Structure 1
Amino acid sequence: MESNEIRQKFLKFFQNRGHKIIPSSSLIPNDESVLFTTAGMQQFKPYYTNPQAADKDFGGRNVATVQKCIRTGDIDEVGDDTHLTFFEMLGNFSFGGYWKKEAIQYAYDFIVKELGLAIDYVSVFEGDKEIPADNESREIWKKIDSKLTIKNHNRVDNFWGPTGDEGPCGPTTEVYINGVEIWNIVFNEFYKTKDGKYKPLEVKGIDTGMGLERLLVQVQKKNNVYETDLFNGEKIKEERIIADHIKAALFMISDGVMPSNTGAGYVLRRLMRTVASYKNRNIETIVNRYINKYFETYSNLEKEKFLDEFNKEERGYKTSRVATVEILRGRKEKNIVEPLTGYAAFGISSTFGVRSNDISDTTSELNIPVSDNFFQEWEDARRQHQKLSQTSSAGMFKGGLANHNEKTIRLHTAHHLLLAGLKANVDKNIKQRGSNITEERLRMDFLCDHKLTDEEKKKTEDWVNDKIKKGLNVVRREMPLAEAEKIGAEMEFGAKYPEIVSLYFIENEKGETISKEFCGGPHVRNTGELGQFKIQKEEAVAQGIRRIKAMLL
């Protein structure tokens, strides 16, 4: 049974049981707090709190879909038997239309009766001091199959949500085949308040997800996802990374994502440049295979657009590779005897979009010494970078940004210049105490013991515009927290930082630093992209704290 047959079988199964079949939404979600669509329920989030809207939009409260998804948190794990960047999620959803008995029965019937698979075991929430055990689900499973193994799992494995400090949440039950979780069924039956209380929801919701690729491994009796009909039997890690990244990039570009240095475009650029770094590639052959395989389900895949963008990124990668060599050669020419740390090397890698092998090969060629714990330091930095990526995917925008739109990003970079300008023209001891950045304006609160004079405002404004006109580079680097503190980078007031931190530098043509701040981004690549900076208002917000509102014209 191949992938397309399983998709159709799943949708027909739920259509016959009163579900409206909804097409996959775009990989670019309407929700600006996340980079990509990561789950089937994403397009249905509003209906869980407003189920009446489902009656109007779908003619009922039960829907099913096969959703294309991108997840970025495990990109560095791609190449093993299970991790993928692009995948499809089969899901059925109900906004008060049915509850646990029906949801569990549907799962059992589809897995056992439709697909002929044997369930290894199922899990239910064991309960804790805040939420009682999900005995209802346990009893439902027992009535369906008295011989079925039912395991108790804790909150980490079998309780979902909320996303953020408050919101819908509830226990889950999971279906396992050959020890692998295949289907996750979420019962949204509580609302967690900001004060930590769990209140029963008036309208309870069902949210399920089953990864198509994982399911195919079981149905087709394969050893890993690359042996299924959605891939081409790739065996070594390099082949698998190329196959995974090309597929993900093809779907991203076809849905409108374009390579850039921020947001979703940065993820796309990273994928394409990783592929560009490998020598043994048959790009067009792989793209053709995917278009033929997915055409019946996703007819919007754009081969020529993908190849055009890939060629651009390949040229960009070669340029970055040269820049990396020059940085390391400069280190040698300056007779720096201190060994290159894994932290610093990872910072170079993430800044220029080159692979670890590129750094390693160059240090060997130039005979540059590396630290004794180089690879452990590199791995620590990579893991911390992965946490930053997962936070970004979860939609937790830092630094007071309302979103990651182009205008907001430009104002974010202008915000860094403003702080540096205040320190240069008003008082070197000025410290930021708050910020808020939207598409229309930036707002900064800062420590200052007096109202700014017209001359001080004019000098600061002119200083910022001068740096914009000079077209200064904006560069992101990662380094140990202690090193960042040592060089005097600006820190967010009251923030707690991990051992490896992200910093943004604004540098002039001589490599001298104009601004350096702890920051997760995103930013423009060059200050010349900003336009004219204008201070709109300066006022007091508290004793010793002033506020500036500014915009870009």
Structure 2
Amino acid sequence: MTSNEVRKKYIDFFVKRGHVEIPPAPLVLENDPTTLFTSSGMQPLVPYLMGEPHPKGKRLVNSQPSVRAHGKNDDMLEVGDNRHLTVFEMLGNWSLGDYFKEEQLPWFLEYLTKQLGLSRASLWVSIFEGYKNIPKDIVSFEIWKKLGIAENRILYYDVKKNWWSRSGTPDEMPTNEIGGPTSEVFFDFGENLGIHEKSPFKVDKCHPNCDCGRFLEIGNSVFMQYIKTKDGSLKELPQKNVDFGGGLERQAAAVNNDPDTFKTDLFFSLISIIAKNVGEDYDKSGNKNAYRIIADHLKASTFLAVNGVVPSNKEHGYILRRLLRRAIVKTHLLNSEIDPVPMFWQLAQETTEIYDDVYMDSKKDGKIVGEIFKDEVEKFNRSLDRGLKIINTKEKIGAKEAFDLYQSQGFPLELIEELMAEKGQKIDKEEFKKEFEKHQEKSRTAGRGMFKGGLGGHSETEIKYHTATHLLHQALRDVLGDHVHQAGSNINSDRLRFDFTHPTKLTEEEIKKVENEINSKVDEDLKVIREEMPKEEALKKGALAFFPERYPDMTSVYTIGEVDKPYSMELCGGSHVTSTGVIGRVRIKKQESVSSGVRRIYALLE
């Protein structure tokens, strides 16, 4: 059974039980102050779990690409075993105040046994043992027992294992956060493979939550029924919800009866590409961890790049840079003779093939992503050997040396920490921070008195250029794709300069298409409407804001076209014309590269 078939069986199973399939949320979150990426299917559903009516009803289902590579959800350093991933698909179903445990648990068991063909004898379950005033989950115990799961395979665990909220245990939850007890299902690959005995955990007794890899968690039903109050207590929500999540990759591994998720059809073609380049059989390798890290990180990087992220030193771009550079180092350690560029290009193209017509377009996305990876690999390769030589020749690296590696060689701090940890050494993060602050102060001093780019003055011509910039931004996104994000701009009375994310030089045809689209909107003489509204409301309406932190809570939003059907909508603090017809003809005169993955256009008004 293929992974695509597993995904379809899951969606179809719940649709037949009255669920509506909803589209996945955007993977890359631009305007969420709490997180950079969607890390689970429930993330965009919090308002509805708290009682707000969902437009699609009370029963929902979907498959959600998810990234766990930063903050509390950072699994990057866990990757390398048989199951942890930084990017995966979360199969999810939700009851928003409709059905509860009595329906959810039997349905999930039916799906596993009847749809996927898993043996009931291979399944173990965990349930909540209770905590303070929250009762032990006896109801789930009785349901599982009635469904034929042996009592010795129904295990109670504490809040660290069988409680879910975005922040962790009940004590860690902030006011107004929701959470609830969980019931997890594990697939047991059996004692006969000797997985536990070959693992670092062999001295301890094996159980479903053991990290040895014998047991694989394939689904978690969260009974989302509590909310944290101001006085620190938990009270019941007005409605009892079910929030289920199960990893597609893990369910596919269970169907294959192979504990290695990297042998599923979602990964093994990537592993094969790495093996071919390295010149070694994966199954015979003494360093499977490196294969898995490269495969996972290149897949995650491809997902991020397809969604408009380019490597940089902050936020989303920093996560992408860290993933790629970690994969480069692991490639070097597997075989220092390998040029990562062709291999990474192959891995990016193969990832787009795996998800073609699901989340990606292999004909278009593979090339764009390959160019982004090529630039980043070539940039880092120049300093990799020097950096590794420094690390390998020193038993201990101080904070100053670590910062020098970070600043001059481009080594992420986490990567330096990881490489030094293999030698049993630690980096003093506080001292590193001090070195970083010293460097910032020097940069600030050196930069005083320099002109800062942006909107220049407010002459009539400059105001026309400013509105033209909004038209250019939207036209670039329409012609090249939604990965295009504004990266900077500068306007004076002679021209506009616009920086944007895109990995390759624009062709003459693309430039002509962008120009024609802008000028067609000028010819349409579209209205330019300014509204004052809360920033959050504007972002919910779809207004673009690639530097949201720059805007106050109450901000100006400029819409080009009709308010209910805009051509362009952006947060903006500048001045604009009242209609596009007064702008005149826009001509793109020049393009150039600013940095890896960022292009610059110069345009004139005629």
Provide closer, same or farther for how the CA distance between residues 22 and 197 of structure 1 changes in structure 2, counting only shifts above 3 A.
same
1:314 paired with 2:314, answer: no
The answer for the alignment partner of 2:86 in structure 1 is 85
Cα deviation, residue 34, structure 1: 0.3
The 8 Å contact of residues 270 and 353 in structure 1, kept in 2 or not, is answered as no
The 8 Å contact of residues 341 and 374 in structure 1, kept in 2 or not, is answered as no
Following the alignment from structure 2 to structure 1, what is the Cα–Cα distance between the partners of residues 415 and 22? Answer: 45
The answer for the alignment partner of 1:111 in structure 2 is 112
The answer for the alignment partner of 2:137 in structure 1 is 134
Provide closer, same or farther for how the CA distance between residues 345 and 242 of structure 1 changes in structure 2, counting only shifts above 3 A.
farther
Cα distance per residue 1:138-187 (max 9 Å; x no partner): 12222222635211111111111264412211111111111222111111
The answer for the alignment partner of 1:289 in structure 2 is 350
The 8 Å contact of residues 66 and 91 in structure 1, kept in 2 or not, is answered as yes
Q: Which runs of 5+ in 1 are unaligned?
A: 333-337, 364-369, 382-478, 490-500, 516-524, 533-549
The 8 Å contact of residues 349 and 367 in structure 2, kept in 1 or not, is answered as no
The 8 Å contact of residues 345 and 359 in structure 1, kept in 2 or not, is answered as no
The answer for the alignment partner of 2:219 in structure 1 is 183
Q: Which runs of 5+ in 2 are unaligned?
A: 168-172, 189-214, 272-281, 283-287, 332-336, 455-550, 553-572, 575-606
- 1:457-472 to structure 2, matched below 5 A, reads none
The 8 Å contact of residues 345 and 374 in structure 2, kept in 1 or not, is answered as no
- 1:402-551 to structure 2, matched below 5 A, reads 479-481=428-430, 483=431, 489=434, 505-506=439-440, 508=442
Provide closer, same or farther for how the CA distance between residues 526 and 157 of structure 1 changes in structure 2, counting only shifts above 3 A.
farther
- Classify the secondary structure of the residue corresponding to 1:94: strand
Provide closer, same or farther for how the CA distance between residues 355 and 43 of structure 1 changes in structure 2, counting only shifts above 3 A.
closer
Following the alignment from structure 1 to structure 2, what is the Cα–Cα distance between the partners of residues 146 and 83? Answer: 27
Percent identity over the alignment? Answer: 33
Cα deviation, residue 251, structure 1: 0.9
1:377 paired with 2:374, answer: no
Provide closer, same or farther for how the CA distance between residues 211 and 358 of structure 1 changes in structure 2, counting only shifts above 3 A.
closer
Following the alignment from structure 1 to structure 2, what is the Cα–Cα distance between the partners of residues 61 and 350? Answer: 50
Following the alignment from structure 2 to structure 1, what is the Cα–Cα distance between the partners of residues 79 and 440? Answer: 33
| Residue number among 198, 207, 223 corresponding to 2:259 in the alignment | 223
Cα deviation, residue 353, structure 1: 3.8
1:68 paired with 2:85, answer: no
Cα deviation, residue 529, structure 1: 9.3
Residue type matched to 1:67 in 2?
A: Q
The answer for the alignment partner of 1:341 in structure 2 is 397
- Classify the secondary structure of the residue corresponding to 2:358: coil
The 8 Å contact of residues 168 and 188 in structure 1, kept in 2 or not, is answered as yes
Provide closer, same or farther for how the CA distance between residues 285 and 480 of structure 1 changes in structure 2, counting only shifts above 3 A.
closer
- Classify the secondary structure of the residue corresponding to 1:305: helix
Following the alignment from structure 1 to structure 2, what is the Cα–Cα distance between the partners of residues 62 and 374? Answer: 48
Cα distance per residue 1:392-442 (max 9 Å; x no partner): xxxxxxxxxxxxxxxxxxxxxxxxxxxxxxxxxxxxxxxxxxxxxxxxxxx
The answer for the alignment partner of 1:160 in structure 2 is 164
1:249 paired with 2:301, answer: yes
Q: What is the RMSD of the two structures over their aligned residues, measured on CA atoms?
A: 3.8
Following the alignment from structure 1 to structure 2, what is the Cα–Cα distance between the partners of residues 531 and 44? Answer: 39
1:354 paired with 2:411, answer: yes
1:19 paired with 2:29, answer: no
The 8 Å contact of residues 216 and 259 in structure 2, kept in 1 or not, is answered as no
Following the alignment from structure 1 to structure 2, what is the Cα–Cα distance between the partners of residues 377 and 529? Answer: 44
The answer for the alignment partner of 1:94 in structure 2 is 95
Following the alignment from structure 1 to structure 2, what is the Cα–Cα distance between the partners of residues 504 and 67? Answer: 42
TM-score in terms of structure 2 length:
0.58
Cα distance per residue 1:34-84 (max 9 Å; x no partner): 0111111112122112332x1xx21x1110011101111121232332221
Following the alignment from structure 2 to structure 1, what is the Cα–Cα distance between the partners of residues 347 and 327? Answer: 12
Following the alignment from structure 1 to structure 2, what is the Cα–Cα distance between the partners of residues 311 and 198? Answer: 51
Cα deviation, residue 247, structure 1: 0.9
Greater RCO (Cα-Cα under 8 Å, separation 6 or more): 1
Following the alignment from structure 2 to structure 1, what is the Cα–Cα distance between the partners of residues 451 and 321? Answer: 19
Residue type matched to 1:216 in 2?
A: A
| Residue number among 315, 332, 346 corresponding to 1:263 in the alignment | 315
Cα distance per residue 1:267-305 (max 9 Å; x no partner): 111222333443534223322322222113223451111
The 8 Å contact of residues 183 and 222 in structure 2, kept in 1 or not, is answered as yes
- Classify the secondary structure of the residue corresponding to 2:235: strand
Provide closer, same or farther for how the CA distance between residues 110 and 374 of structure 1 changes in structure 2, counting only shifts above 3 A.
closer
- Classify the secondary structure of the residue corresponding to 2:317: helix
The 8 Å contact of residues 399 and 432 in structure 2, kept in 1 or not, is answered as no
Residue type matched to 2:174 in 1?
A: D
Compare 98-107 and 1-10 and name the one that shifted more. Answer: 98-107
The 8 Å contact of residues 124 and 149 in structure 2, kept in 1 or not, is answered as no
